[in-house]
Amino acid sequence: MNIENVHLVYFSATYTTRKVVRAVAARLPGTVVEHDITALEPPDDVALSDRGDLMVVGVPVYAGRVPVMAADALLRFRGRGTPAIAVCVYGNRAYDDALVELCDLLGDGGFGVVAAGAFVARHSIFTSIAAGRPDEADMAAIGRFGDACASLLASLPSVYGLVPPAVPGNRPYKTPGAIPIYPSGSRKKCTHCELCVRLCPVHAISPLRPTRTDGNICMSCGRCVEVCSQHTRCFSGMMYKMAQRKITKLCRERKEPEWYLAGR
């Protein structure tokens, strides 16, 4: 296949998923067009063809699943036998059913998944877990994955007749759990710059009280913590500490990148 345009689609609250998929795209032929779907406002409809187009999609794993916002946004992208690469990024616990769910979403949208990969980044809530990842070894692996994707695409006339990647996961997908942990800020340190207000994907922070978070709509993505210039926003409290101890025990063993290629 002759790839002319690489449509890079990502949901990346703390910017690590974006880093991963950009590294994949850097090893692929074609001009990169980015689509950031980390926002409450839906993206414009995008129709891709089977001639010259490739879509690379990256999402984080939230409770073992694709974030609902990301899944909804992906419905705006329609393929017509268009090749696609699925990427999920998780915080060193497990990616559970997220990767198979992402592949299913792409298949239902008219895309042919040629490759799928799962990579580790710093946990977005418990940031001591997988701190510093993706590290040098991870980035090298991501590069190898991108090279494998490029080689496979170059060898294929089209996606028709391909055997989809044998991605682990369950159907039906697991029911995602929810931990009622939400970040907040310090009134003493907050400068009311409102960066967190503007960048919160679900508008859970009011400009009138930027140190507060609306727990009814917050999805605990960690973006406000990531972008706070005063480092005043954070997750805290007894429930957070209890959950942190539990999750940390589950994440002690370093997980390595995994990927799967389509067959013929």
pLDDT in tens, 132-182: 999 999 999 999 999 999 999 999 999 999 999 999 999 999 998 877 899
162 and 212 inside one domain: no
| Spatial distance between the Cα atoms of 55 and 41, rounded to a whole number of angstroms | 21
CATH of the domain at 36: 3.40.50.360
pLDDT attached to residue 253: 96
From the list 145, 91, 85, 141, the residue with the least C-alpha distance to 120 is 91
Tell whether 180 is covered by a domain. no
118 and 221 inside one domain: no
User: pLDDT tens, position by position, for the chain (264 residues)?
Assistant: 999 999 999 999 999 999 999 999 999 999 999 999 998 777 789 999 989 999 999 999 999 999 999 999 999 999 999 999 999 999 999 999 999 999 999 999 999 999 999 999 999 999 999 999 999 999 999 999 999 999 999 999 999 999 999 999 999 999 988 778 999 999 999 999 999 999 999 999 999 999 999 999 999 999 999 999 999 999 999 999 999 999 999 999 999 999 999 998
Contact 221, 124 (CB under 8 A): yes
Tell whether 183 is covered by a domain. no
16 and 127 inside one domain: yes
pLDDT attached to residue 43: 76
The tokens of 50 are what?
Answer: 């089977």
CA 43 to chain centre: 16
Tell whether 190 is covered by a domain. no
Domain limits at 218? Answer: 195-250
Judged by DSSP in three states, 70 sits in: helix
Contact 97, 174 (CB under 8 A): yes
200 and 168 inside one domain: no
Total of domains in the chain? 2
For the residues of 101-115, what is the DSSP string, one character each?
HHHHHHHHTTEEEEE
136 and 207 inside one domain: no
**What is the percent of the chain with per-residue pLDDT over 90, rounded to a whole number?**
94
pTM of the model: 0.95
CA 173 to chain centre: 17
Contact 98, 74 (CB under 8 A): no
